[in-house]
Amino acid sequence: MLKYLLSRVVATIPVVIGVTVVTFVVMHIAAGSYVPGLDLNPNLKPEDEEAIKRYLGLDRPWPEQYLTWIGGVIHGDFGRSMIDGSLVSRHIGDRLPATLELTVTAILLGVLISIPLGVTGALRRGSKLDHALTAMSVGGFAIPGFWLGLMLILFFSVQLQAWGLPFLPSGGVMTPGTGGGDLLDRIVHLIMPATVLSFVYLSIWSRFTRSSMLEVLAQDYVRTARAKGMSERRVVYLHALRNAVIPLVTLVGLELPSLVAGGLIVEVVFSWPGIGKLLYERAIQTDYSTVLGITTFAALLVVAGNLLADFLYAFLDPRIRYA
Amino acid sequence: MIDPIAVEAPQVPAQPVPAHVGRSYWRAAFSRLRRNRIGMASGALLLFFVLVALTAPLIAGFITHTNYSSQDLTNTFASPLSPGHLLGTDDLGRDTLTRLLFGAQVSMGIGFLAVFVSLAIGAAVGLVAGYYGGLIDGLLMRFVDVILAIPSIFLFILMSILFKPSTVTLALIIASVGWGSIARLVRGEVLSVRTRDFMVATRALGASDARLIIRHLLPNVLHVLIVFGSLYLGSVILTEAALDFLGLGINPPIPSWGNMLTNSETFFFHSRWLVLWPGVTIFLAVLAANLFGNAVRDAFDPRLR
Amino acid sequence: MMARKSAPPSKAGAFGEDSDHMSRDDAAEGFGQFERFLQEWSRRDFLKRAGGAAAYLAFMAGGAELLAAACGPSSAPTSLTPVKGGKLIEGMISDIANFAVLNAGDTSSQQVITLTFDGLLGIAANGDNIPLLASALPTVSSDSLTFTFKLRPNLKFSDGHALTAEDVVFTYGLMFLPETSDFVSRYRSDLEGYIQSVTAPDPQTVVFKFSKVQASFLDSHCRRGILPKHILGNVTPKALNTHDFWSNPTVVNGVFKFVKWDKGQQVVFARNDNYWAGPSNLDQYIYKVVTDAVVLAQQLKTGEIDVGQPDASQFDNLKTVTTIDALTFARPSFVYYLYNLDKARTSSYAMFSDKNVRKALHMALDRPTMAKAVYFAYATPADSVQVPMDWAYNPNVSPKYKYDKAGAQKLLDDAGWAKGADGIRVKNGQRFSFEINTNSGNKVRENLIQVMQQQWKEIGVEAQPRPIAFQTLVTQLRTTHTFQVILLGISSGDTDPDQTSLWTTKGIGAGGLNGMQYVNPEVDRLMAEALTTTDRAKRKPLYFKIQDILADELPGPILFYPSYLWGINKRVKNFNVGPYNEYQGRAWMKDVFVTDGK
């Protein structure tokens, strides 16, 4: 197993280097014509520009900048913003919890809803209900997420309020001034964005659960259980369901790398102060270094996550474990 | 929303193919496709959108009599069914229906182009990597790993701010991220096919590498490309609309279904319809593409039912 | 290779704790400042504030004196006794960037800085200077080279430490002394070479000595927040650049103290009991970041925020809400478009060099209708390069232009631009076709260039709208000059009418805003002369002449004066915001109170 683990780590190194090189190169192509601070002070004198460039380290040769960049990344420093010199890592630290709150909730919601939907579809296969559920999943996957979010906001926030009815907040994590301690307040803010984000997961996972369930129900051991006289209920919920859900867990696991980036559009539509929204805002301001820093961070997370998964499988798969 | 590409990509597992993908295989697949009623219906809807995209200027000229940029500042926010404006007008008095028509050009154009380019690059890379193996394979696949590690939506945003997106540039940007999954898929197929007898035999007969790749490997992976491509189209349309909506894609005055939604929220009290039409259109187009894609996949491998 | 787990890093300690400061060079006061929206827009920031110019012009004509008393057209001076206690929540579209007192680049940050740090002087709603830490306006020597300020007695910082002239000397020293040049301040280039010395002959007196006259000193540089020397005095200038103070000002001297900043969500302030004018009525002030203009309007309606500047598109709807006062008044800012007049660029020069052609293009724009459609009528068509509320504004500027399509066509015909087969004019083989750039993400600007495209098409001129990133736009304007026409907005931080940077040869090049490369020796002379004296009576006729020349030559025709739009909950009293003290000075918030004390 050790050999396997080592080989995985070795295979990952070029990817890590590749990611840092790609992001670094892209940044410098972009930043070539960028004069930091220019958009904020049109009176910027050339000497001041030079001072700022020196401060950000933009005047040194590329290889040296790359080494600084890599060195920084190893220590968790993902660079400084070109606009105000703030640390990218600090921004990430500030915003990551909000993103995770959103994406983890969405995934949980997705799982909790897909399982009953999928199971129902499988159990009542071919019925009108099944067809309806399938149609809903297929439809759900075609709905643009930003549009769904927009419509929900317009109805549940704007329209309901215009009619004088209780309504949902249209953005943000919490009501300001509350310090985030009020659980109900946070839930109310979380409902719409998490629903929209989970929508696409739902569509796929419910169908997947359904087909997985069907496969399991067709297995020999299920038939055996029935033949032994076990009640249908026990067959389904005790045996079949458990086995049908396992592949779903694998599929869910596939989504985990998107925990950081996947919520971007929802974050923007619902003004959720997460990493995706930060990247978007900074991109609009052409703050290349922050965008690159965040992208590198996310990519490295993905790579790390894959490596971790490899380790996990090495541990679980006996063929590797005892090799 | 989650990364549409990551979602669809893994859904195409390697299918068992006959020893040589011959005419009978294709014929069987097509006849299965023809019999799939939902598939054919969605295919027809998709074709409808393509036709609209191609004939938009004609329709605008003869039926709606306006261009997508003709403004009428005195008739802003007209409701549907107002004279001359079947679906109403927007904040500058431009006809919504006409803009939807021209938006079809953007979505269909970028959609198909991006899919095509992705397939082309992915196929090329996958074929080369799978055929040559060894160092080339290692390098290419590492590069694919790097591309796939970077969250695609981040990459899109990054590239959009670097390269001013025109229709073609945007398609290329989207394609530049999507080819990775295809390359992996194709490579997988190639690995399973290249050890077959007919391959060994053909090489023994002295065929060159290029000939082997193009004339023998490629046809055998074509079905993978077709299935993936048709499933991928829907995702591309969604991604493109999302980028336009965020202001990072096609910008006004060129209408796209995505950018028609960008400011519809602000104008909600002035016209509730502005939010509705572009979204519905995107939904229908993507639905058609997805259903058709499913039908194509089912046709090529009915076992996946 | 199926399951992927991403491991988020732990928040505490994974990354270095460092402070976020860096100098953000900001336009100095005067017309060098770009619209705030240009920096901070999120994608969904839309229309600029607009307001009913009519209402404003009415009392504008009345004169500054009236305004000085009334302090802005908000809730009329109330006869109610102030209620102590409660909090005020103000909704803002963008978050602040920092508390960099000597470096703030954006108006949001400046707003909170003026809330927490008073300077020697402050600014009234109409732009007049008012004494804050100084007990009165300074005495100025007859040669305008010496300014003497007397501080009020018993000034304190929020921690109880005394505020004396030493702190003033320290603060200004950071901006002009050679030994502090490691500290990056955006105002250094304005003060270096002008200020000779800043001294404190006694703890209550500060003397500024200049080596040459700086006419804008009083209006532009006397409002800088005074920093606590006892906190920052021991920090080396270089280290001061990244000091934590700029994101966490622990000791202040303004109306409110800083409590906390939840990035991207809110900034919380509490009453400063040591404020020189007495403690504020409010206990707390919360600056709440609101996602966009629609949400802001919504939250005004529900009472989630008490005051804010809603979007023009929401304003009409807001006016119907009974719990809110919906106010509009003009802003000291204008929106204009400018031509590239560089002789070396032959294609644009061929199109734009003729003054009559520029007049024709301007006459082809139906600005009143544009104001209605794009600004929802909350902007006024403009004729002068000065804003109406400035003391140097010429109400009878001449010539003025009316919407006259036929007249425009004739001028173009006469200039030799004949209509071609495709409807676009041609002259000497060149089509009258150009690109008009503006900053992307600003819905109003983007709509404006589309409307202008359409209206110019009708007279046979082809304009391609190009929204581009703001940073690129500025680079084009100031450095590369690779543009043909740019649509832009300019905002004024104070009432000094100097526009050297915009219209003179001094403004050409990387330091200025004269991206048009417009050269007019007469304008140069007049503008320079107007800076040699501080006597308004002498300066005024010079500025009048300049306005007339620029209205005739149209190197950068002015389109609109957009208005401020405010929604103020009726429970809020004394919210005396006006054209010049929205972000330029917030000391007036001391008197704000809420009727329910909550």
DSSP string, A110-155: HHHHHHHHHHHHHHTTTSHHHHHHHHHHHHHHHS-HHHHHHHHIII
- Between chains, do A253 and C475 touch, taking CB under 8 Å as contact? no
Residue in chain B nearest C471 by alpha carbon:
B161
Percent of chain B scored above 70 by pLDDT? Answer: 91
> Is B4 inside any structural domain?
no
Size of interface B-C (CB pairs under 8 A): 61
Q: Are B181 and B153 in contact (CB under 8 A)?
A: no
Q: For C399-419, what is each residue's pLDDT tens digit?
A: 999 999 999 999 999 999 999
CATH number at residue B291: 1.10.3720.10
- Between chains, do A199 and B1 touch, taking CB under 8 Å as contact? yes
Q: Are C134 and C147 in contact (CB under 8 A)?
A: no
Among C23, C106, C295, beta carbon nearest to A170: C295
Q: Are C281 and C83 in contact (CB under 8 A)?
A: yes
At C596, is the pLDDT very low, low, confident or very high (cuts 50, 70, 90)? Answer: confident
- Between chains, do A34 and C32 touch, taking CB under 8 Å as contact? no
Amino acid, single-letter form, for residue A152: L
By CB atoms closer than 10 A (0-12, 13-18, 19+), residue C215 is middle
Q: Which residues of A touch C316 (CB under 8 A)?
A: none
Mean pLDDT of C452-465: 92
Q: Looking at B47-51, C453-457, C594-598, which range is the least confident one?
A: C594-598
At C74, is the pLDDT very low, low, confident or very high (cuts 50, 70, 90)? Answer: very low
Q: Return the pLDDT at A52.
A: 67
Residue in chain B nearest A276 by alpha carbon:
B154
SS3 label, residue C434: strand
Q: Return the pLDDT at B294.
A: 84
Mean pLDDT of B58-84: 81
Q: For C111-121, what is each residue's pLDDT tens digit?
A: 999 999 999 99
Residue in chain C nearest B93 by alpha carbon:
C373
| Sheet order of strands, C425-427 included | C418-419, C425-427, C430-431
Distance CA C589, CA C155 (A): 19
Q: For C219-230, what is each residue's pLDDT tens digit?
A: 888 999 999 999
Distance CA A109, CA A191 (A): 10
- Between chains, do B69 and C369 touch, taking CB under 8 Å as contact? no
Mean pLDDT of A220-242: 77
- Between chains, do A200 and B1 touch, taking CB under 8 Å as contact? yes
Q: For B20-38, what is each residue's pLDDT tens digit?
A: 556 777 787 788 888 888 8
Residue where the block lists tokens 């390359």:
B183
More reliable by pLDDT, A74 or B20: A74
Q: Which range scores top for mean pLDDT: A82-86, A191-195, B174-178, C60-64? A: A191-195
Q: Which two tokens stand for residue C179?
A: 């030994």
Task: Give Cα separations from C243 to C166, C170, C247, C268, C426 (angstroms).
Answer: 21, 16, 8, 21, 60
> Is B17 inside any structural domain?
no
> Is B7 inside any structural domain?
no
More reliable by pLDDT, C19 or A51: A51
Q: Return the pLDDT at C73.
A: 46
Q: Looking at A105-119, A223-237, C273-287, which range is the least confident one?
A: A223-237
More reliable by pLDDT, C505 or C10: C505
Q: Return the pLDDT at C45.
A: 30
Q: Which two tokens stand for residue B8?
A: 């669809």
> Is B279 inside any structural domain?
yes
Average pLDDT for chain C:
81
Q: Return the pLDDT at C540.
A: 93
CB of C293 within 8 Å of a chain B CB? The answer is yes
**Residue A159 predicted with pLDDT over 90:** no
The A residues from 256 to 285 touching C (CB cutoff 8 Å) are 256-257, 259-260, 268, 270-271, 273, 277-278, 280-281, 284-285
Residues pairing with C488 in the sheet: C336
Angle between helices C443-457 and C367-374 (to 10 degrees): 140
Q: For A25-59, what is each residue's pLDDT tens digit?
A: 877 776 665 655 554 454 455 666 676 666 666 67
**Residue C40 predicted with pLDDT over 60:** no
Q: How far is A227 from chain B (nearest CA, A)?
A: 27
**Residue C27 predicted with pLDDT over 70:** no
Residue in chain A nearest C292 by alpha carbon:
A271
Q: Return the pLDDT at B202.
A: 75
Strands C425-427 and C430-431, bridge-based pairing:
antiparallel
Q: Looking at A189-193, B99-103, C314-318, which range is the least confident one?
A: C314-318
Q: Looking at B201-215, B216-230, C33-47, C83-97, which range is the least confident one?
A: C33-47
> Is B220 inside any structural domain?
yes
**Residue C68 predicted with pLDDT over 60:** no
Which chains touch A (3+ CB pairs under 8 A)? B, C
**Residue A160 predicted with pLDDT over 90:** no
Q: Which two tokens stand for residue C301?
A: 């309606």
CA quadruple C380, C381, C387, C391: dihedral positive or negative? negative
Q: For A210-223, what is each residue's pLDDT tens digit?
A: 888 888 888 777 77
> Is B224 inside any structural domain?
yes
Range of the domain at B110: 40-58+90-304
Q: Return the pLDDT at C597.
A: 82
Q: Which residues of B touch A147 (CB under 8 A)?
A: 261, 275, 278-279, 282-283
CB of B254 within 8 Å of a chain A CB? The answer is no
Residue by residue, DSSP assigns A235-275 as IIIIIIHHHHHHHHHHHHHHHTTHHHHTTHHHHHHTT--SH
Residue where the block lists tokens 């009815």:
A165
CB of B163 within 8 Å of a chain A CB? The answer is no
Percent of chain C scored above 90 by pLDDT? Answer: 44
**Residue C439 predicted with pLDDT over 50:** yes
More reliable by pLDDT, A105 or A306: A105
Q: Which two tokens stand for residue C486?
A: 């740019």
Residue in chain B nearest C446 by alpha carbon:
B252
> Is B27 inside any structural domain?
no
Q: How far is A202 from chain B (nearest CA, A)?
A: 11
Q: Return the pLDDT at B303.
A: 55
At B155, is the pLDDT very low, low, confident or very high (cuts 50, 70, 90)? Answer: confident
Q: How far is B2 from chain A (nearest CA, A)?
A: 4
Q: Return the pLDDT at A36.
A: 58
**Residue C57 predicted with pLDDT over 60:** no
Q: Return the pLDDT at A292.
A: 85
Distance CA C474, CA C512 (A): 11
Q: Which of C436, C443, C453 to mutate to test the interface with B (most CBs of B within 10 A)?
A: C443
Q: Return the pLDDT at C46.
A: 28
Q: For C350-375, what is each residue's pLDDT tens digit?
A: 999 999 999 999 999 999 999 998 99
Q: For C182-240, what is each residue's pLDDT tens digit?
A: 887 777 777 878 899 999 999 999 999 999 888 778 888 899 999 999 999 899 988 88
Q: For B266-287, what is each residue's pLDDT tens digit?
A: 888 888 888 999 999 999 999 9
Q: Return the pLDDT at B14.
A: 47
Q: Return the pLDDT at C12.
A: 25
**Residue C3 predicted with pLDDT over 70:** no
Q: Which residues contact B216 (CB under 8 A, 6 or more apart)?
A: B198, B199, B202, B207
Q: Which two tokens stand for residue A46?
A: 């050339």
- Between chains, do A253 and C2 touch, taking CB under 8 Å as contact? yes
Q: How far is A145 from chain C (nearest CA, A)?
A: 17
Q: Are A118 and A212 in contact (CB under 8 A)?
A: yes
Q: How far is C438 from chain A (nearest CA, A)?
A: 13
More reliable by pLDDT, A220 or C593: C593
- Between chains, do B275 and A150 touch, taking CB under 8 Å as contact? yes
Q: Count of domains in chain B?
A: 1
- Between chains, do C184 and A52 touch, taking CB under 8 Å as contact? yes
Q: Which residues of B touch A139 (CB under 8 A)?
A: 283, 287
Q: Looking at B147-161, B228-242, C8-22, which range is the least confident one?
A: C8-22
Among C43, C294, C474, beta carbon nearest to A284: C43
Q: Looking at A56-65, A192-201, B271-280, which range is the least confident one?
A: A56-65
> Is B1 inside any structural domain?
no
More reliable by pLDDT, B279 or C144: B279
At C151, is the pLDDT very low, low, confident or very high (cuts 50, 70, 90)? Answer: very high
Half-sphere exposure of A3 (CA within 13 A, CB side): 4
